Amino acid sequence: MAGIYNAPRIRLDNFGKPIISLKAPTDFIHLIGIHVNDIVLFDNSTEVLSGATILPRYYSIFVGTKDGEVQYKPYEYNQYRIVVSTYKNIIISIDSIG
């Protein structure tokens, strides 16, 4: 049997505008244990980078908690922002998407 289709979650922002998340934090679980500087953005990647961890197009990493200290997060919603917690620049958890 093929995989089960899960409809994206629909949330509302402060103004009642729907926010639809296409990815979940579990989709990026493979990033745990990788140094933040070793992850390459899609726009900066080339064919020469074999074995490097490359994010999907438009996605970026934002460190929300660094060594136990909460960092300031921008107020605007970005569906392609991966918020992570790090300890000594090693990703220890994926907090949220957006």
Q: Decide if 2 is inside a domain.
A: no
> What's the domain count of the chain?
1
**What does the block give as tokens for 16?**
């009642």
Q: Decide if 28 is inside a domain.
A: yes
| Contact (CB, 8 A) for 95 and 83 | yes
* Sequence-separated (6 or more) residues with CB below 8 Å from residue 52: 38, 40, 45
Q: How many residues does the chain have?
A: 98
* Sequence-separated (6 or more) residues with CB below 8 Å from residue 33: 90, 91
Q: Decide if 5 is inside a domain.
A: no
Q: For residue range 6-60, what is the model confidence (pLDDT) as tens digits?
A: 666 677 778 877 776 678 888 889 999 999 988 888 888 777 777 788 888 889 9
Structural domain boundaries enclosing 23: 10-97
Q: Decide if 83 is inside a domain.
A: yes
pLDDT of residue 41: 87
What is the pTM (predicted TM-score) of this model? 0.73
Q: Decide if 4 is inside a domain.
A: no
Q: Decide if 3 is inside a domain.
A: no
Rounded Cα gap, residues 34 and 89, in angstroms: 8
